[in-house]
Amino acid sequence: MTYATLSELRAQLDSGAQTACSLAEAYLERVQALNAELNAFVHIDADEVLEQAAASDTYRASHGPRPLEGLPIAIKDIFCTQDGPTQCCSNILKGYRAPYDAHVITRLKEAGAVLFGKTNMDEFAMGSSNETSAFGPCRNPWDTTRIPGGSSGGSACAVAAGMAPAALGTDTGGSIRQPAALCGITGLKPTYGRVSRRGIIAFASSLDQAGPMTRSVEDTALLASVMCGHDSADATSVADAPEVDWLGACAARDMKGLKIGRPREYFIDGMDAGVLQAVEEAIETCRELGAEVIDVSLPHTPAAVAAYYVIAPSEASANLSRYDGVRFGHRCEAPEDLLDMYTRTRDEGFGAEVKRRILTGSFALSSGYYDAYYLKAQKVRTLIRQDFLQAFAQVDVLLTPTSPVTAFHIGEKTDDPLTMYLADVFTIALNLAGLPGLSQPCGFADGLPVGLQWIAPAWQEDRILAAASAYEAATDWLSQTPATGGN
Partner 1 sequence: MSWEVVIGLEVHVQINTKTKAFCGCSTEFGAEPNTQTCPVCLGMPGQLPVLNSEAVNKTVLTGLAINAQINLESKFDRKNYFYPDLPKGYQISQFAVPLVEHGYLDIPTAEGEKRIGITRIHMEEDAGKSLHEGLDGVSHIDLNRSGIPLMEIVSEPDMRSADEAVAYLKQLHQLVRFLDVSGADMEKGQFRCDANVSVRRRGEPLGTRAELKNLNSFRFIKQAIEYEANRQIELIEDGGTVVQETRLYDSVRGESRSMRSKEEAHDYRYFPEPDLPPLRLSQQQVDAIRDGMPELPGQLRQRFESEYGLSPYDADVLSQTRELAGWYEALVAAHPSDPKRCANWLANELLGRLKEAGRDIEDSPISARQLAGLLDRIEDGTISGKIAKDVLTDMMADGRDADAIIEAKGLKQVSDTGAIDAMIREVFEANPQQLEQYRAGREKLFGFFVGQVMKASKGQANPALVNQRLKALLDG
The residues binding partner 1 (CB under 8 A) are: 80, 86, 88, 93, 96, 98-100, 102, 197-202, 204-206, 232-236, 314-315, 317-318, 320-322, 324, 326-328, 338, 342, 362, 365-367, 370, 374
Closest approach of Cβ 81 to partner 1, in Å? 10
Closest approach of Cβ 426 to partner 1, in Å? 24
Catalytic-residue membership of 22: no
Nearer to partner 1, 16 or 99 (CB): 99
Please state the three-class secondary structure of the chain as a single string.
Answer: CCCCCHHHHHHHHHHCCCCHHHHHHHHHHHHHHHHHHHCCEEECCHHHHHHHHHHHHHHHHHHCCCCCCCCEEEEECCECCCCCCCCCCCHHHCCCCCCCCCHHHHHHHHCCCEEEEEECCCHHHCCCCCCCCCCCCCCECCECCECCCCCCHHHHHHHHCCCCCEEEEEECCCCCHHHHHHHCCEEEECCCCCCCCCCECCCCCCCCEEEEEECCHHHHHHHHHHHCCCCCCCCCCCCCCCCCCHHHHHHHCCCCCCEEEEEHHHCCCCCCHHHHHHHHHHHHHHHHCCCEEEEECCCCHHHHHHHHHHHHHHHHHHHHHHCCCCCCCCCCCCCCCHHHHHHHHHHHHCCHHHHHHHHHHHHHHCCCCCHHHHHHHHHHHHHHHHHHHHHHCCCCEEEEECCCCCCCECCCCCCCHHHHHHCCCCCHHHHHHCCCEEEEEEEEECCEEEEEEEECCCCCHHHHHHHHHHHHHHCCHHHCCCCCCCC
Closest approach of Cβ 364 to partner 1, in Å? 9
Nearer to partner 1, 430 or 448 (CB): 430
Q: With beta carbons less than 8 A apart as the criterion, state whether 391 and 261 touch.
A: yes
**CA-CA-CA-CA torsion for 255, 256, 257, 259, nearest 10 degrees?**
20
CA distance 261 to 256: 14
CA distance 405 to 417: 16
Tell how strand 448-455 and strand 397-401 pair up: antiparallel
Nearer to partner 1, 82 or 277 (CB): 82
Nearer to partner 1, 87 or 453 (CB): 87
Closest approach of Cβ 422 to partner 1, in Å? 25
Q: With beta carbons less than 8 A apart as the criterion, state whether 265 and 364 touch.
A: no
Q: Would you say the C-alpha torsion 310, 312, 314, 320 has a positive or negative sign?
A: negative
Nearer to partner 1, 59 or 96 (CB): 96
Question: For 131, how many CA atoms within 13 A lie in the half-sphere containing its CB?
Answer: 20
Nearer to partner 1, 164 or 201 (CB): 201
Closest approach of Cβ 190 to partner 1, in Å? 17
Catalytic-residue membership of 314: no
- Choose, from 56, 76, 90, 314, the residue flagged as catalytic: 76
In 3D space, the residue among 37, 20, 19, 22 whose CA is nearest the CA of residue 158 turns out to be 37
Closest approach of Cβ 120 to partner 1, in Å? 18
- Choose, from 151, 155, 216, 317, the residue flagged as catalytic: 151
Phi/psi of residue 454, each to 5°? Answer: -105, 135
Closest approach of Cβ 90 to partner 1, in Å? 10
Catalytic-residue membership of 76: yes
- Choose, from 175, 196, 237, 314, the residue flagged as catalytic: 175
Nearer to partner 1, 142 or 373 (CB): 373
Nearer to partner 1, 235 or 483 (CB): 235
Closest approach of Cβ 327 to partner 1, in Å? 6
Closest approach of Cβ 175 to partner 1, in Å? 16
Question: At 123, which amino acid appears?
Answer: E
Nearer to partner 1, 95 or 302 (CB): 95
Query: So which residues are the catalytic ones?
Result: 76, 151, 175
